[in-house]
Amino acid sequence: MASNLKNLSDHNTQSIPSAVDMRFGIVVSEWNSEITNSLLRGATNTILASGAKESNILISYVPGSFELPHGAQLLIESDEVDAVICLGCIIQGETRHFEFICKAVAEGIMNLGLDYNIPVIFGVLTTNTLEQAIDRSGGKHGNKGVEAAVSAIKMIDLQKDFE
C-alpha cells in the first residue's frame, strides 16, 4: 500500500494556484464525524491558505456518505460555487454494505461533475479500519481533506483555462 511509505498530503505549495476569486462548496458526512470533521479542517485550512475568503466557503452537512452526491447537487443548484468537495468516511464492516455504498458514492460524485460541468471532488476515505481512517484524516499518512482541496483548486484553475 502506497500510504505505508509516506504522507500522501505532502504537496508543493508553489504549484497550487491562487484561490482568491474561487467559491467552494463542501459537503460533509456526519457519519464518522470525528474523521470527517478532521477532513473538513484540512480542506478549509488549505483553501484559506491558498487565498480564498472564508465567506467563499459554503459548508453543508448530510447524514452519511451515501447522501454526499445529493448534498453536492443541492449546493451546485442553489449557490454559485466553482467546485464542490465531498468529504466522508466509509469503514469496512462485516457485510457487503461497504461495497455498495462506496460504489454508489463514487459514481454519484463522478456523474455530478460530468453532468454539471463543475469539479466535484471525491474526498471520501474508504478504509478497512478506524485506524486507517485516523491515519488518513490528519494522522501519519496525511489528510484526505487537504488533498481534496488542492484538487478542487487545481481543477477550477484548469476549467478557467478552457473558458
> What letter would DSSP give residue 17?
P
Q: Does residue 11 carry a catalytic annotation?
A: no
Main-chain phi, psi angles of 31, to 5 degrees: -70, 135
Catalytic residue among 11, 70, 97, 141: 97
User: Please, are residues 104 and 64 in contact by the beta-carbon 8 Å criterion?
Assistant: no
The set of cell numbers assigned to 122 is: 471525491
- In whole angstroms, what is the distance from residue 73 CA to residue 31 CA? 19
Task: Please list, in sequence order, all residues whose beta carbon lies within 8 angstroms of the beta carbon of residue 3, skipping any fewer than 6 positions away.
Answer: 132, 135, 136, 141
The set of cell numbers assigned to 139 is: 494522522
Q: Which residues are catalytic?
A: 97
